[in-house]
Each structure stands twice: as C-alpha cells, then as structure tokens.
Structure 1
Amino acid sequence: MPSSSTPISTTVSKLLDLAVVPGFSKIGFLIRKKLGGWSEISDFDLTGKTVVITGPTSGLGAEVARLLAPTGAKLILVGRNPQKLAAMIAEIGPKCVAGKPKSVIAEMGDLAAVRRACKDIRKLTSHIDVLVHNAGALLNSREVSPEGIEQTIASHVVGPYLMTSLLLSELRGGRVVTVSSGGMYTKGIPDLRHGASLEMSADKYNGSQQYAIAKRVQVTLNEMWAERVLETEFVATHPGWADTPGVQESIPGFRRVTAPILRSAREGADTIAWLATVDALPGASGTFWCDRETWPIHKSSGTKKNDTPEVRRLLWELLEQYCRV
C-alpha cells in the first residue's frame, strides 16, 4: 500500500529538499521514513509476479534483490559476471519464496549482449511485472562499448533503452523502474539542435560530468516513455547519497568528506524496491521519485534550457539510431 503523508511530513520533506545536503543524506532518509510511517518492503506480497533486475550483484542492485527475495516475487537477475551472479543467487536463494532466482548474462553497454539477454528473458517468462534498470558505473577514464559508444552512455542510456524497446510486449501492464542519481540535477540535456553530443570527447572527458549527463537523459527518457507507451508504467528514482562500492571506488574524495552522513546501500535501495512492490503507484507514470515521494526533475533554470520538445525529439531519434530500431 502507498505510504501515507501528512501536512507536517510534506512540509518537512520540502524543507529537506531545499537543504540539499541533509535531504540527500541519511538524515533525510530517516526523517522521511519516520514521518511517513513507511511499510517494510517485506510486508508486500509479490506472489506470482516477475521482477527483472539489472546490475544485481553489488551496491544498490544487490540490496534491491535482497529486499525483494522474501516478497514472493520471481527474480531474474541480469549481470555481466557469472560468478558474481551465482554468488548472489546462492545468498538470497534460500530466502526467495518463489524459488531460486534465474540468471541472465549481459553487459548492458554491449548492445549485442542486450539483444541476447532479451531472448533469454523471454525463454524464462512471458510477462514481466517490473523491470529495474540499475546497471552502470561512474568511470574516471573514457571507455567505449563494442559499438563504439562512450561506455557510460552505452550502459546507462542506450542499453536500457534497447532492452525496454525489445521487452515492451512482456512489460504490458507492468512497470519500468530506472535508477538515476541526484547528480543529474547538475546537468541539462546537451543541445542536440546545434550539434552537441551525449558523449564527452576524450580531450574534455570528465567521468562525473558524463555520469550526470547520462542520469539526466535517463529521467528525460522516463517521461518520454510514459508519454509514448500507455500500457506500461514508467518511473525513475534517485537513491540519495548512498555508501556503495561504486561511490567508494569512483569518487573516494566525496566519500571521505560525506562518510558520516551517507546512507547505507540498503537505505539507498529502499525506494527502488518500494517502486517495484507497491501495487497502485501513488503518482503518474513518468514521475521521478526519492524517499517514496515524487520530486521535480529540475531544480534550476539552467538545466531546463535545452529541455525542449525539439531536443526531446532529437534525443529519441538518436537513441533509435544507436539501437537501429
């Protein structure tokens, strides 16, 4: 059931939003949880439902898998490392009411692998109730996918777009949950009208900025999917500042400064899991969520500048070209 909210909890939450640091931190999570009277994820019953999770072997994805294990959901875990997938299945399998999770091997930035993964998923199920797009990392040096696409854009944007496109029939009546990041508030969509690219060039590459661009594109596409596909619900979410292996490895300086107030990976995964479990979405398709509440996708006028119908059209056409769909 949806979490309840009161005028007091709503007001406090808005104040936390304005004060970014406490709002994104463990402080914001704990205050909103207490004031909202949240149900535990284990209280939800997903018996008979199928949930596909990408990037489920560490960090947020692993915590989402752990949270969903006792709900009765049939889990399909999509990851690139067979050994890590096997280890995760061995860990959560005994807790899975619906039986041992199934695994599918794929690197989400490799489009050929994504196509194979979709075929493998179809062999395992004819219907997907929830698809969680979680896979991806923040890279400090520029890498490219097998198709020659900058790796962050490939794994966070192009691969998920392709997987969603190929699984739309199975997702009819279901929900797609995209894991974005608060970092997207620092970047707008590149101005595709005047030759800008989603992919940063090698000479100007900055991993954090490229990651923020990818996360911005994710929430924009989330709205666009909702407008174009009415038979499926689309939501995006950001986990706040969570202490995950990705943060520890990719931005250690940030972690050193913020360590005392970082959320745990479990706390960061809560809203992702909640969006996968709540039956009636307490908000419209296409919305952006944090701490079980809808948030705006822009916090400054600067990021709105290029968010125009024309740029969105060009963005969709670009994704079609990347995927050749």
Structure 2
Amino acid sequence: MTTNAAPFIFGSETFETSYTVFGDLKSGARPLVVLNGGPGLPHSYMLPHADLHGTRGRPVVLYDQLGCGESTRLRDKPASFFTPALFVAELDNLLQHLRIALDFDLLGQSWGVTLAIEYIAAHRPAGLKHLVLVSGSPSYPLWREALVSLRAQWPRDFRDMLDRHEKDDTTGAPEYQEGLMQFYRKHICNLEVWPPETFTTMAQMGEDPTVYRTMLGVNEFSMTGTLKDWSVIPKLGAVSCPTLIINGVDDEVPDSCIAPLFHGIERARWVTFGLSSHMAFWEEPTKYIKIVGDFLADSGLKNDTQAQEGIVAFVL
C-alpha cells in the first residue's frame, strides 16, 4: 500500500488529490479506481474494495476527492465552484497522473455513480473496460421521491419528530440525530456494530462538511444543494462497456432509482443483495467481493446481441 498526492490544476489554482494504491500499477493487472460517495466522504469506508488486491491480485486505487480527507480542503469556495465538472476533471487528472487511463476499471458508490457517468459522458474513455455502479441514483429528483416513500414506511410518531425538527431548523438536536441513525441503521448499514472505518469517514466529514452540505444539503431528507435537481439519465447511453449494477434490498437507493440505470445502459447486469442496505461491501463482504471480482475478471458481455438477450436482475 502506498499513499501519495497528485497535483491538480483547475482554473488558475493548483490543488492536491490524496490517493492510496493497493498493489503495483506496473504489475500488468488492470487496476480498479474507486469513487466514494457523499459528495465529500473520505475514502475510508470504501476500504473493503482493497480486498480485490489481496484476493485477485488486482491493483486498487482509492482516493479522497477534493474538499475531504487528506486532499485539499475547499472551505472558502463559493457554491458555484462545486460542480460535477470539477470532480470529473479531478478524476481524469488522477488517471493521467497514474498513467492508467488506457486500461482501467471504474467503481462508483452512491454519489460516485453520478461522477462515473459524468466522467464517461465527458470523456468517452476508450481505456475503461468494466464499470461497477453501487447503490447510487442517476437522478436526484427521483431519489428524493424514493426517500419520501421510504420515510413513509416508518411509524407516524417517528415521522412527526423528524418533520418537527426539520421545520424548526433544529436538526442538530440529539433526538433528531438519534432518529437519523435509526434510519441509517436500516437503510445505510444494517450491521449491529458499524465498522470503525465508517465512523472515521463520518467524523472526518463532520469536521469539514463543506462539500457535502454545498452539493447535497444537511442530509438526504433536506436536499438543498447544487445536486438536488441533477440527473444523468440522459447521459446513460454514453456507457458502452460491460456494467455491473448493485444495490441492497433495504438500500436508501431502492429499485425505483436503480431501474433507470439498468434500462439505460445497454450492457448491464443488476444484482440486489438480499441481506444488505447501502453498503453491501460491509454487510455481505465475502459475497460482494466475489461477485465484483468475478465480473471484473470476466470479459463481460461479449456483444450487443448477448447484452440484449442475457442481462438479468436477481436477488441474492
């Protein structure tokens, strides 16, 4: 494992992207680049993907997107600075810096799904061989609707409590935060004891929530950021490589949000993990790593005819 920083020039400024490589990028094995969620969540919670190096010998690149973790912080930037185009440019710069742009795989989780699609639509990368999209909605308006439906499934007194604090702008109150954690323990990570890496990510994001709050909002229920009306559904046709789509049966990104990905990407497979929510890589790690590893090792769907006839959605 090696950690370093890639200089990134954007406009007239130079920033740094902190990244960690598990394995040897010169080994000849195709590397996997992992895009974390948020936006603004450091990569710590995505560390299970490093197992693809240990079990498959595949180099894995994890990095902190600008504004979080060990990368350059952006506390003083205006809201207009935080656009998908910024993070697309950062990703492209990292690929060029690592000299892997001609042969790589890409995995995006949550917001990372949006970033992956935006990158592909902007650059049409010939070097991208496989794409994995994990628990991310291609449309934030669609996701907002889905969250309303999920919230409606909870008891009335629970919903009334959330409504009251959101109306009074007291979402920092312990009662509200405890309620939010109840929701997260069902729809984000259903493990009785959360892995320390997830708490590390949350603590780092809480220390500097600039990117998250600017682009998303206070939380998923209060999407007031620059992404609240964003959709990449019109851009899904740009994806031409074999694609694996993943979500969990209790995911906060439910099937209604995943379906447009499955139907909009021609060469797609969809797997729903039956014991997971938003982090199948923590909730069902052995099965998750096997399925992702097998997909990346395969040559994928061989041609368009096979893609049209052979794509399946199934529950594990």
In the superposition, the TM-score normalised over structure 1's length comes to 0.38
Q: Between Structure 1 and Structure 2, which shows a larger proportion of helix residues?
A: 1
In the superposition, the TM-score normalised over structure 2's length comes to 0.38
